[in-house]
Structure 1
Amino acid sequence: MSEPNLDTFRAKLAARRAEQAAEQEARRAAAEAERAIRDAALAAVQKADEPVFGLEDIEDCALSEQERKERYFNAVAVALVKEMLEACEGYRNVTLNEKAFRLGSVSAGLGLPVEQGATALAAAAKHVGLPDDEIARTLKSGVEAGMKNPMVWSHS
């Protein structure tokens, strides 16, 4: 090889190696993000065993109305995440829509913010394999529809 051709070859080889390193780093970062999302969803489910999420004392008169509402909402959110994590292929989007509707309905009925439950539900949907754009559209649509149909809170 002549000197200019060798320099060109070396430059192309260096560029290709840099591309490969960047691709490998992107795959590593994506895998790390996927693990973080999965861990967040699983952590939300594992918290179901903590007493604060239980419904066993929702009728406890020592609890304020707000505490009862928060416990109920947390229990519902955890149950919805668990159900989403069990969704079968072919039913994942429908499941997400149903769970998002329920989350919006409960949130509106209790007058509580939906964000924490929606974040956990989105993480669970990602964990079962739904793409981000589909999760965002379905979650938004389901929550908005649910908020237009608030559940009736009767534990006052």
Structure 2
Amino acid sequence: MRPILLLAPLCLIEATAIAGPLAVTKGMWAVTSDMYANAQANGAPVEVASERSAIEECWSTDEEAALEEGLVDCFEGCAATDSWTRAHSIDFDLACDFSGVAMYGAAGFAVSKGGDSFVGRMLLSGQTGDGLMMDTEALLIGDRTGVCPAPNWAFGRAALAFLRLRRDLTG
């Protein structure tokens, strides 16, 4: 179950490819995610290491810049049971089944008025059949760092010139 939960923040980041009414500004984005978990087995604490990841990537299409309830679709076994969208935020309730372990919680995203930053938070809780109770929290923070770099057209032009030369030589 732990590997699935550790992928949750990255999945949320990548899932912004789903279109919707709430969006950030297109451009280069730096996004960090922190994942925390607390677990107890039969009342005794179980140590679970926190995880941090960071990405920097270009979000240049409407789909890449969008945030909506469809973010939940990237979690296999999860569904949004309800959602609320406002001008600069979206919140939704979650119901998940990770390999037979039911987890419930909520997630939400808020986008700055200018669309140049966002914050996301996800909370899930559940219990396995053998008495392990787990609470997880994921925090995502994204900041637009600038414009996307221009494509490298020089390589494309060189490849096209090579193909033309090849065509001319082979008749």
Name the TM-score, length of structure 1 as normaliser.
0.26
Structure with the higher fraction of residues in helix conformation? 1
Name the TM-score, length of structure 2 as normaliser.
0.24
Task: Report which of the two structures shows the higher radius of gyration computed on alpha carbons.
Answer: 1
Structure with the higher fraction of residues in strand conformation? 2
